[in-house]
A and B are shown apart, each in its own frame.
Chain A
Amino acid sequence: MTRQQVYFDDVEVGQAVPEVRKGPMTVAHIMRWSASMENWHRIHYDRAYAVEHDKLPDVVVNGSWKQHVLMQLVKEWVGLGGWAWKVGFQYRDMDLPGDLITAWGKVTKTYEKGGLGYVELEIGLRNSRGIESTRGTAVVILPRRGGAKVPYPFPVD
């Protein structure tokens, strides 16, 4: 594959990573995800249940789906030579049908350990209503120019 590799040497604190955008989301997108993972939680496809029983504004985009979008953001940035190691996120608000969802990330810290380049990131999801629905952090490993390959499988602590 000919994807361009990002190297640890070229990364600076404050740097933004390329955004990933999804949507606008519809009930069909939400239903497709729910069906693919066989999650029958009614707040994702039964509007009457979501609104009347759970007092939500509409059916809601699955948190389980949103985590994959954040993972994709980080995976795409580190490329085939890096490793998206740790990703953590808290859901702070809802994403709804009609929302365009943007995943963003920003470098907060860089350090070397065992000859490998570690990068910490602040990450999040922002929707087209201006709401930061999800916030989190990530730790990734990037190769150094002329340095060793990032090991795969990544060693367990």
Chain B
Amino acid sequence: MSPNYITDEVKQLIGRETDWVEACDPVEQGAIRRFHQAVMDDDPIFWKVAEAAATRYGGIVAPPLFPLHAFRRPSGAPDPLNRVSGDPDFDGVTRDFGLGLPPVPIPLPRLLNGGNQVEVYQLARPGDRIRAKSKYVDIYQKEGKSGVLVFILVETVYANQKGETLLKALQTHILR
């Protein structure tokens, strides 16, 4: 019998929602450049000012899924890398799925990205203040080929400073 990781404490997290959280930095052109270069997409709407201005966007925009990664560690927040040298099991990422959601107390050591479903409504622009609101939609376990897999489904809505929806995402995290 596999252990049951979906304890009452875990079940209570399902449906838990955060307030709006704002990214620590506004959308910066340099961040857009590093991003489009790293995904190897040189679409002119990300960097050619005059060409982008002539499109429906009216100027440079960020890649469609940029908001998913807009939330960085704010200055002054604890440095998770301090744990790397002292904790051989630490994988470099904290287990606070979503933004401001409480950690899921499940002692499985490995984390995988299971997939995502996104809906795009508008592209972020330089200067935008991206905000997000996240919710644990479901947490459940399944028997996999090599043991138990725990699926954590987090729904996040991303908006700009005017409250206009940029993106909705349903992310699947897998613990094993």
A residues lining the B interface (CB < 8 Å): 1, 22, 29, 32-33, 35-43, 46, 49, 53-54, 62-65, 67-69, 71-72, 75-76, 80, 83-91, 134, 136, 149, 152-156
Contacts and interface: CB of A to CB of B under 8 A. Distances in A.
Given A40-B93, A41-B93, A64-B68, A69 B39 contact: yes
Given A38-B72, A84-B64, A152-B56, A68 B51 contact: no
Contact of A154 (B41, B43, B121): B121
B92 A62 contact: no
Interface of B: 31, 34-35, 37-41, 43-45, 51, 54-57, 63-65, 68-69, 72-73, 80-81, 84, 88-89, 91-93, 109-122, 164-165, 172
Given A29-B40, A42-B92, A90-B114, 14 more contacts: A1-B55, A40-B80, A40-B92, A41-B92, A46-B92, A53-B109, A54-B110, A72-B43, A76-B43, A85-B119, A88-B117, A91-B113, A91-B115, A153-B122
Contacts of A39: 69, 93
Nearest to B118: A87
Contacts, number: 120
Interface SS of chain A: helix, strand, loop or mixed?
mixed
B112 A91 contact: yes
A39 B73 CA distance: 10
